[in-house]
Structure 1
Amino acid sequence: MFTNKFKKLLLTTSLLAATSVAQAGYDIELSDEDKISFGGYIKVDARYVDGDVAYKPFWTGAGTKLAQDASQFNIFANETRFNMKYTHGDVMGFIEMDFWGGGGNEIVSNSANPRIRHAFIKYKDVVAGQTWSTFMNTSAIPESADFAGATVGLVFIRQGQVRYTMGNFQVALENPETWGGDTANDNVPDVVARYNLKGDWGSVSFSALGRQVNSCVKDSTDMNINTMNNCVDSNSETAIGGSIAGRINTIGKDDFRFQFHQGEVGRYVGVGFTKDMVGEKVEETTAYLAAYRHYWNETLRSTVLYGSAKADVSGLERSQWSINIFENLTKQLAVGFEVGQFKIDEQNADSNYAQLSMQYVL
């Protein structure tokens, strides 16, 4: 037989389920101080890619040019995710997983492995654990069927960190990693400072990044295949970069989202676009993204976007554009269709893509 307390719990949960909106979770009150929340979404994508850039389930800053054009079609649900949050007074713990962890046999079961996205503890104004870098402004990510949309122009990175927030100002010590260099000597945390402005007009963030990166000096006389790639020395360099990003409300429910990043930002920008070190030189990157979302009515909307990134030392250059349309069939269920193109500009290669998505928010 149900107790009165448990009946109240079921009723509260049912009401929350009936009134939740997109990206909201379900809250279960355990006591005056304790609460458990869970949420996430199920997303199914049908994706077609055609051209001389190899198929990817979503575009990133890295890409492979093919010897000749190819076309590929896939249906998958890897972006599906689940999260849980436990709150006890001023303390909150959050964990989230999705299914981009690899694995999956397309011949038999497509059993993709789960992976950790976020795992952090928040106490008052301090956050410790793995989550989005403080250098990143998530409100400036456009709505798209392709995961995150034009990642070449985005700051897009999750990593371990300790962050302190004081009003509109944030400062963090984050995990160091010299991609393309001597990671064995990454002994100084990356430092990020950010200032946020917010109002009825929208929001804008100004971020600065400072870090130590280490080049790997190899022994050119070593002909032993087992040791020739080992670092015999490490040179430390200071890398500095900046970012401005935001979302500006325009007409009605429309908004304009933008990002601009410049400097020695390396792995922080473009999702694998370019390394922090190219040989013994620190890479310098310029990247940007612009996206406009228009609401045709209360539930039907479209986003047109363009993103680009260019690296000075390596000479890499990538760009992507897309246009889409999304409709909310219910408060929790949305469908969308998107077309676009991804380009490896310095190799004169490109692929067109079309993607149909259905997303059910838990």
Structure 2
Amino acid sequence: MFKNSLFKVKKLVLATTLLAVTGAANAGYTIKLDDGDSLTFGGYVKVDARYISGDIGATDYWYGGGTVLAESHSNFGISANETRFNTKYIHGDVTGFIEIDFYGDAVKGGGNELISNSSNVRLRHAFVKYKNVLVGQTWTTFQNTSSLAEAADFGGPLVASAFIRQGQIRYTMGALQLSIENPASYGGNNIAQGGTANDSIPDFIGKYTFKGDWGNVSLSGLARQLESKSGNTEAAVGVGVAGRINTFGKDDFRFQLHAGNTGRYVGVTAATDMVGEEIEESIAVMAAYRHFWTETLRSSVFFGYQETEESDRERYHVGVNLFTNVTKQLSFGIEVGSFAIDDNAPGAKTGDSAYLQFSTKFVL
């Protein structure tokens, strides 16, 4: 028997603590240990049933890219890959956090539909935080996670959202955050494009967040050195404004606006950093409004758009949904929307697909 009941388990909601650290508002179970230490387990189980019709290839969720098909088709699928599990250990001023999900092979999951529908485990977060310093992999400092739309489709309109998890060293001083983060010249001379990764200078990012009872607004900036396929280096800068504003009752308005050389930081492959020997310029806009019909019934309508200059691309994603909570932990949602690719470069294809998605989510 453990001395004096060495630990006890209790249920608590981590919407404040985990939101501040990871941007995830999940419930969890905490084990109280000796000396004030604690170990928390959390996450959720999410199952999506998804019907897609159009000439963009079906995926588990819409991101910034996609395959334009020769002709329209329809697809129905059920997946649970977004399901995730996390654990947090607190020891005095030190916090360690690890989170995994099951999108281990991009959006395919690594399995097949013939036998087991198995999915590979994927690392989402793994970091250590000591007082004001965070070291490890988590959301980029350039991102404001509170501004992401509530959506059945994972992440909502990712075509226009800042959305990256990567290795970094971050310092927080009140509302100001400064970080150096893992560099990668997407579209330039890096491993993903068949070259050797010669990115030798980290990305530099700063963010200042204004907060109050009204909500929050963040101003972000990034500075990078990019390498082209020929080995030339170019300086690149990008800016972003994002936030969530409380409106009427429990309603809120969420938005993001990004411009400049944001490249891989915005749109989840909607834009590259380099196009040939040129630095990509882009502008992206995301907006979402969430309305509560009752205490447990709510809807969001959202729109995302990104346009690039050098590659002459356009991406759109619009949607509207309805969510209801049966209990504090169990919710159901339905969403309809459309995703479109409109590339104007010579030889490029355009297409769009409509989708209907039903989601079940049980928060641990």
Scaled by the length of structure 1, what TM-score is found?
0.92
Select the residue among 55, 58, 61 that pairs with 2:64.
61
Equivalent-residue separation in structure 2 for 1:168 and 1:143 (angstroms): 24
One-letter amino acid of the structure 2 residue matched with residue 153 of structure 1: A
1:1-362 superposed matches below 5 A: 4-6=4-6, 9-10=7-8, 13-14=9-10, 16=11, 23-102=26-105, 103-183=110-190, 184-217=197-230, 234-346=231-343, 347-362=349-364
Deviation at 1:20, TM superposition (A): 7.3
Stretches of structure 1 that go unaligned for 5 or more consecutive residues are: 218-233
Shift of 1:275: 1.1
Aligned counterparts of 2:336 and 2:4: Cα–Cα separation in 1: 53
In 1: Cα distance, 2:229 partner to 2:2 partner: 65
What TM-score does the superposition give when structure 2 sets the normalisation length?
A: 0.91
Q: CA offset at residue 2 of structure 1?
A: 6.8
Q: State the distance in 2 between where 1:158 and 1:353 align.
A: 27
Stretches (4+) displaced over 4 A: 1-4, 19-22
Provide closer, same or farther for how the CA distance between residues 276 and 4 of structure 1 changes in structure 2, counting only shifts above 3 A. same
Deviates more, 1:59-68 or 1:126-135: 59-68
> Which secondary structure state, in structure 2, belongs to the residue aligned with residue 176 of structure 1?
coil
Shift of 1:204: 0.6
SS of 1:139's equivalent in the other structure is helix
Structure 2 unpaired stretches of 5+: 16-24, 191-196, 344-348
Contact 1:20 1:26 survives alignment (8 Å): no
> Which shows bigger deviation, 338-347 or 167-176?
338-347
Kindly provide the CA deviation profile for residues 142-166 of structure 1, in whole angstroms up to 9, marking residues without a partner as x.
1000000010010000000000001
Residues 264 and 282 of structure 1 are in contact (CA less than 8 Å); yes or no, is this contact kept in structure 2? yes
Contact 1:306 1:319 survives alignment (8 Å): yes
Once the two structures are TM-superposed, the CA of residue 32 in structure 1 deviates from its matched residue by 2.9
Distance in structure 1 (CA, Å) of the matches to 2:3 and 2:164: 46
Is the CA contact 1:145–1:336 (under 8 Å) kept in the aligned structure 2?
yes
| Cα deviation digits, residues 69-118 of structure 1 (max 9, x gap) | 00000001000000000110001100000000021121000110101000
Q: Matched residues, percent identical?
A: 56
Q: 1:54, 1:258 → 2: CA distance? A: 28
Between stretches 295-304 and 339-348, larger displacement belongs to: 339-348
Cα separation, 1, equivalents of 2:73 and 2:59? 12
Measure, in 2, the Cα distance between the counterparts of 1:33 and 1:281.
54
Work out the CA distance in 2 between the residues paired with 1:131 and 1:20.
Answer: 17
How far the C-alpha of 1:23 sits from its partner, in A, is 1.1
SS at match of 1:294: strand
**In 2, Cα distance between the equivalents of 1:171 and 1:33?**
30
Q: Report the aligned-residue RMSD.
A: 1.3
Distance (whole Å) between structure 2 residues aligned to residue 68 and residue 284 of structure 1: 31
Indicate the SS of the match to 1:345.
strand
Match of 2:193 in 1: none
* Matched letter for residue 67 of structure 1: A
Q: Structure 1 residue 3: deviation in Å?
A: 5.7
**Separation in 2, partners of 1:20, 1:179:** 35
Question: Within 1, Cα distance between the matches of 2:214 and 2:363?
Answer: 27
The corresponding residue for 1:224 is: none
Q: How much has 1:66 moved relative to structure 2?
A: 0.9
State the distance in 1 between where 2:216 and 2:145 align. 11
Q: Which residue of 1 aligns with 2:20?
A: none
Whose radius of gyration is greater, 1 or 2?
1
Give the match's secondary structure for 2:159: helix
Q: Which residue type is aligned with residue 358 of structure 1? A: T
Amino acid at match of 1:27: T
Cα deviation for residue 345 of structure 1 reads 2.2
Give 1:357's aligned amino acid. Answer: S
Counterpart of 1:25 in structure 2: which amino acid? G
What displacement does 1:24 show?
A: 2.5
In structure 1, what is the Cα distance between the partners aligned to 2:46 and 2:125?
18
Aligned residue identity for 1:216:
K
- Map Cα deviations across residues 29-59 of structure 1 (whole Å, 9 max, x no partner): 1023311011000000000000011111100
CA displacement at 1:348 relative to structure 2: 4.0
